[in-house]
Structures are given as structure tokens and as C-alpha cells.
Amino acid sequence: MASRRFLSSLFLLLLNLASTSLSEPLIRLYSKPPFSGSRKVLKDDGLYCESWRLAVETNNAGSWAQIPQRCEQLVAAYMKGDRYASDSEIIANYSSEFAKTVEIAGDGSDAWVFDIDETLLSNLPYYEAHGFGSEAFNENSFDEWVDLAEAPALPASLSLYKELQQLGFTIFLLTGRSEHQRNVTEKNLLYAGYSDWERLILRDATDQGKPAIVYKSERRSELESQGYTIHGSSGDQWSDLLGFAIAKRSFKIPNPMYYIS
Amino acid sequence: MASRRFLSSLFLLLLNLASTSLSEPLIRLYSKPPFSGSRKVLKDDGLYCESWRLAVETNNAGSWAQIPQRCEQLVAAYMKGDRYASDSEIIANYSSEFAKTVEIAGDGSDAWVFDIDETLLSNLPYYEAHGFGSEAFNENSFDEWVDLAEAPALPASLSLYKELQQLGFTIFLLTGRSEHQRNVTEKNLLYAGYSDWERLILRDATDQGKPAIVYKSERRSELESQGYTIHGSSGDQWSDLLGFAIAKRSFKIPNPMYYIS
């Protein structure tokens, strides 16, 4: 009896399996989920730091003060290698593709807003000499670098800038730098190959101490109330792009070296 | 005379260099900008596809229909390898860190909104059998997979989900799936280990045809008007996170396989 019950159970089981695979043929196509569930990320600096960098670029990391010590080498390699240049280039391509879809009114009202540091100009020579963001920010030392007015252009941004001008966009430069740095900033921009911007907007006395996201939103809002349509905005900080009076399309240029709220 | 003029010029030049390096000692610290200016990215698939993926995750790419053919292998390797798991884990860590800073009122009004597909549940087994997003989306075929109710959990999201419940958050699930998929969706969520959500919100008849970003914003807005405070929101699409009635902090989970506007 026992063996007959076993055989009949086996038969039913096989029948069940057969009918399942007939009615739901998809099942066999799907392999097991690939998650290892390992905690590799805790031990593997390369893995951790790539994920940390993605978290920073997507704003998932929120506010942060300094790059994690274990990521110093990765950030250096990233900034000096092909990846930073490639990432910037692809973003400039997407910016350009979008810009070409904009119907330019021809009255100068179609605007594009650029941030300056790590967007139009690269302070990489400075940060290379200061641990790529792993050292605490030293304002005096950075201001000395700014006064040199020798920051090179980000090549992808320079190409985009010129293309936007040819397309007929009115270019606004909106920077967290202060009014007293106007001359050296203009000098540096010209040195790096930029020219013919409509207006260079710097923090004046009333803007001191405001979070960048507030100051920049207020200034974009002023542009809108003056009749400009802000189609695109390019910046390396989320505080360049979010807030209010935001552009129709925003382009986040990579910067794993520092965060400005 | 010529040689004395030469020597005196040389002397002035050296003096000038010396004084420059004294008054501007920074100059010597900075090396040349590291940009190669090469167009390597055009030829190198690995470089291009990593930059493409970053552009997608940061929303720089905007709307896109299918993954670039040259990136099919990279996307497969990414999704099946350690990187996707690691990226998701780091984001869950940042979500958890933020959640712990929220003061929970204790009246159930503190809410967290989760998307479902590629956020709580992984459809990777399906996409693995369909070119990781390189094939055109086939709704019938995907709905058959959904009906199986066998999508596994994203491990990082499952841990976060349980932690948020323990912290006292009220959990809302807001999905682009339709009302007719309610039963299989609940079945799948329970199968994957999720339970005790406050409400599962699916598209009803009036939501059909609306862009996800509108439908999801409207539903979040309803939650707010019902007295909930949406502290956090987790989703793999920017249309899960942007629009109006947005959460205080949004967490973008990676998804290089498809885009929903």
C-alpha cells in the first residue's frame, strides 16, 4: 500500500510539474536572481568608491563635507583620467542635442545659464595640489588660486558654450564667487577662451551667507521676470540646478571633489 | 655690446622668474591641465557606456527609448555583477541615515513612498531573457511575467523597507501598474518578503494614459492633503521622484535598462 501511495503521489507531482511548464512556459526562461547578497562593498574600496561617486552625482548622498578617505585615490584617478573627460563630453552632447530642439525667438530672450567653477573653468590644478577634495577647504588658499586667473576651460563646456552662442542663446554666468572677484573672473574666463556672455552675476553684499541654492534661484527668478526664458542650465552642483525658477532642462556636470548646498 | 645686452636680458629674465615665484609661489604647485582632448569616447565602448550610464542616472540623458546597442554587454555585466548590488546598497544606506534623522510624530503621519518595479521588486529575471532593455518593450510578454508573481526583492530595498517600518514610518507603495494587477502584485510582494504596507496605489481608469510623473505627483499630493508628510521617496525612475508634492529627500535607485517619463 505504502509503495502504491508513493507511486501515485509521484505521478501526481510529475503531472503537476508538466502542466505547470505547459501553462507557464516563461518559468523556464528565467534564471535565479543574481544577487550575491555579499557585503563585498564593505571591504572593496574600488566597488565602494564607484558607488559613492554615483550616489554623489545623483544627489542620493545629500550634503557631504569631504570625500571619504578610502576614495581619495579613486577620485584622483577619475579626475585625471579619461572618465571625467568622457563623462563631461557625453553631458555636453546631451546639452547640445536638447539646445538644437529649442526654437530661438531671435529677440535675445532665449537664455542658457552656466555656473563657472568646475563647469566652465576647471580648478583641478588647485585641487590636485590639495588632495582632490580630501583636505578641508581653505578659502584663503583657494582665493589666491582664483586671483591667478589661470584656471583652464573644461574643453567639453567650452565647445558647448560656443555652439550655444552660434545657435542664438543668450548666455548668463551665475557664480557663487563674490563681486570683489569680478575682475579676476573676467580675466580668467577670457584667458580660457570664453567671451561675449550677456551678464556675469556674482554674489553681492546682500547675497553673502545665503545658501547657493537660494541665491541662484533668486537670480534666475530675476532673469525670468526680465523676460528671459531659461531653457538650459549647466552646473556641477545640484544647488546650481534645483530650487525655483529652474531651467527646462538641467545638466549636472560631474564633481566628486566637493559639495556646495 | 650684443653679448652684454644678452646677459642683461638674461639677468632681468631670471630676476623676473625669481620674483614671480616669490610673490606667486602657487604657480609651481599646479601642473598642466590633464585633459587629453582626445575623442577616445567615440571609439571606446567601455568608456562611452560608463558615461552613458552616468548620464542616465543623473537624468542628463532626458527621455530615451532603448539602451544603445554598443552598451548591451555593459548593462548586462552591470546588472548581474557586484556594481548594481553595491550601488543599491549604498543608496539604501543613505536612505537609512536620513530616515534616522526624522522625528517621528507617532500618529502615523510620517510617510515614505516606494515605487515597486526595479525598486522593491527586481524584474531582472525577465529582462535577462529579453536583452536587458535592448529589445523593444513588449507589454503582453511583460504582463505574463508580472502574472507569475515571482519577481524577487531587491535585497537592499527589503532591508530598508523593514528598517523604515521599525522606525515608525507609514509605507505607501505607488506603482505604474494597473488596478487589474492588484492581486498578483500583492501576491508577489508577499512572496518577496514585503508586508504591512499602509496602501498599495495602482493606476485606476482615470490614470490611464497619464505620464507617470503626473499620475505619481497627483497621488502624492492626495497623501499630503490627507495629512501625511512625505519624508522620503525611493524609485528607479526620475518620474517616481520629480514633479510636485515631492518628498523631502528622494533616492534614485539605478536602472540602466529602461526609462519611463
B208 contact A CB<8A = no
Residue B201, Cβ density class (10 Å: 0-12 exposed, 13-18 middle, ≥19 buried): buried
CATH number of A88-252: 3.40.50.1000
Q: Could you tell me which of A117, A127, A126 has the C-alpha nearest to residue A67?
A: A127
The ranges assigned to domains in chain B are 40-252
> What's the complex ipTM?
0.85
Q: Is the CB of residue B231 less than 8 Å away from at least one CB of chain A?
A: no
CA-CA distance, A224 to B95, in Å (whole number)? 35
- List pLDDT tens digits, range A106-150: 999 999 999 999 999 999 999 999 999 999 999 999 999 999 999
B2 pLDDT higher than 70: no
pLDDT in tens, B179-211: 999 999 999 999 999 999 999 999 999 999 999
What secondary structure letter does DSSP report for A154?
A: P
Answer whether B54 sits within 8 Å of A89, measured CB to CB: no
Its sign, for the CA torsion B235, A236, A114, A180, is: positive
pLDDT of residue B143: 97
State phi, psi for B30 to the nearest 5 degrees: -100, 125
Chains A, B: CB contacts within 8 A come to: 164
Q: How far is B153 from chain A (nearest CA, A)?
A: 9
Exposure string over B159-182, b if 16+ CB within 10 A, otherwise e = bbbeebbeeebbbbbbbbbbeebe
At the top level of CATH, the class of B40-252 is alpha beta
Q: Does A135 touch chain B (CB under 8 A)?
A: no
The model's pLDDT over B18-77, given as tens digits with 9 standing for 90+, comes to 333 333 333 334 444 333 444 666 789 999 999 999 999 999 999 999 999 999 999 999
